[in-house]
Amino acid sequence: MSPPETVTAETMAARDGEPGPPVVPVRTPAQFITLVPYLLGYHPGEGDLVLVGTIPPRGRVKLTLRLGLPAPPAGVLAAARARHAVALLAAQDCATVVIVGYGPDTIIGPAAAAAREAATAAGLDLRELLRVDGGRWWSYLCEDPACCPPDGTPCQPDPAVTVPFDEAGAPVLPGRDALAATIAPVSGAEADSMTRATARAVKRRSRLERREQAPGRKSSLRPVEISGTRAVAAAITTYRDGGSITSNDQAAWLTLALAEARVRDAAWLRMDPRQRDAHQRLWAGLTRLARPGYVAAPATLLALTAWQSGNGALGQIALDRALADKPGDPLAFILRDALDIAAPPALASPRTILRRPRHPLKPARPETPSPTRNGRPFMQHDDALHAHERISLERLRLAADVILAETDTIPDTLEAELGLFKERLEYALLLPDHPAPAAKPGVP
């Protein structure tokens, strides 16, 4: 059973001057069933449960969730997943929900009943609860045989929905497998060519690693990190300008460079949500081309841009590829957690990630001397770091590294100031971790 996959309102709304999607009033079950593939970007399959949450005014779609339900007799597990999905809609302040299950009643029934109960408990207005199977649909809410016959009602695509979306060029793939195929690894001659290019990239990395011991080097970044960061920056610029990578050697070098944590994080910092479509095109291509052992980094960056686009299905598929290539990858797990709880795409902005932590650094205690440099305190703080403080300092150091990697384009005075700033960050990071709070008596 797959985790929840989301499509958020960000996908269905115009931003930054972009053309918006068609506004389609949906009033009947047939129209809603017609709409679901356009919301997901692909046709649901057997065992899928789709929940669409809307908000005022006029019932605007805010969040769409798709669950892959387990086959019978795992009805208890399916019901638990359905209740969790309803809770996600409530957490996003949805006012109403429409639910459609795809497949036989033995699969959909337990989840539908649990979702109905959970929606009532959460105060959500359940407008419709439908099941689609074999080209016909049934309603769990309507008991009028004249309206909803026991044999079901034939599914007829409604032109009032299909025509506006088709004219807008909204793509609908045959199914989730077709979406996964868009980032599947290349094969045949193209795979062989990338294997040879990756071998050449490994030799290039070895040459750069030998330069690390060169006398007189002052940069805190390793040569492979500097070269990799510049290559990533150039590739991002190329795709933002509408271009693409045409050389397998260039693609192979990018996949190797991104395996360096600092290079991957430098790419993360450049992921401006306004350029998400261009970035998604870049990372999708590299995810397909990357050879085993080098897939995780471009795949996690693809998941990030998919999150920015509100495309949870693509994000989850990208993370599947990342974790298959590098089990336990921490960034992949962070992104998976975000997608599993339907976190809003606004939280995928690097500016948000680098924002000051919710709990700012505490002032130093009077009895605890602050760290000093040249006899003067430069960090007013406790003698230990909390976890969120250490993460924030690490991110600031990363930002400084990214700028310092572009030494050819920044003034010497700024480079010196950033060097001092980074030195202070590194000194602060030498502080020990703050001990975890002691458990309260009687609390496990």
pLDDT tens string 326-359: 998 988 988 998 898 888 888 887 655 544 333 3
Section 102-113 average pLDDT: 95
Whether the predicted pLDDT of 320 surpasses 80: yes
> What element of type H or E holds 36?
helix 29-40
> CA–CA separation, 293 vs 256, rounded Å?
9
Whether the pLDDT of residue 89 is over 60: the answer is yes
Q: Are the CB atoms for 371 and 378 separated by under 8 Å? A: yes
Residue 23 pLDDT class (50, 70, 90 cuts): confident
Task: Identify the residue with better confidence: 131 or 423.
Answer: 131
Give the whole-angstrom CA distance, residue 92 versus residue 63.
Answer: 8
3-state secondary structure of 13: coil
pLDDT tens readout for residues 212-258: 666 665 556 788 888 999 999 999 999 999 999 999 999 999 999 99
Say which DSSP state 266 is in. Answer: H
Residue 386, pLDDT above cutoff 60 = yes
The CA distances from residue 29 to 74, 92, 275, 370, in Å, are 28, 24, 36, 66
CA angle 305, 323, 333 (to 5 degrees): 65
pLDDT at residue 354, rounded to an integer: 44
Mean pLDDT taken over the chain: 83
What's the confidence (pLDDT) of residue 365?
A: 36
The residue with greater pLDDT, 411 or 260, is 260
Over residues 78-84, the mean pLDDT reads 89
Token pair belonging to 237: 């610029």
Half-sphere exposure in the Cβ direction for 390 (13 Å, CA): 12
Q: What is the pLDDT of residue 16?
A: 42
Q: What is the pTM of this model?
A: 0.76
Greater confidence (15 vs 323) lies with 323
Give the tokens for residue 243: 């271009």
Structure tokens at 215: 């006398």
Of the given ranges (296-300, 359-363, 440-444), which has the lowest mean pLDDT? 359-363
Residue 54 burial (CB count, 10 A): 22
CB atoms within 10 A of CB 398: 18
Determine what percent of the chain is predicted with pLDDT higher than 90. Answer: 54
Residues 413-434, mean pLDDT to the nearest whole number? 66
Kindly state the DSSP code that residue 431 receives in the 8-state scheme.
Answer: S
Give the containing element (helix H, strand E) for 255.
helix 248-258
Longest dimension (CA), the chain: 87
pLDDT of 410 > 60? The answer is yes
The token duo for 84 is 């969790």
Mean pLDDT, range 144-167, rounded to an integer: 93
Residue 380, pLDDT > 70, answer: no
The number of residues making up the chain comes to: 444
Which band of pLDDT confidence, cut at 50, 70 and 90, is reported for residue 71?
confident
- Give residue-wise pLDDT tens across range 179-220: 999 999 999 999 999 999 999 999 999 998 887 666 665 556
The 10s digit of each residue's pLDDT in 278-302 is 999 999 999 999 999 999 999 999 9
Question: CA 154 to CA 146: how far, in whole Å?
Answer: 14
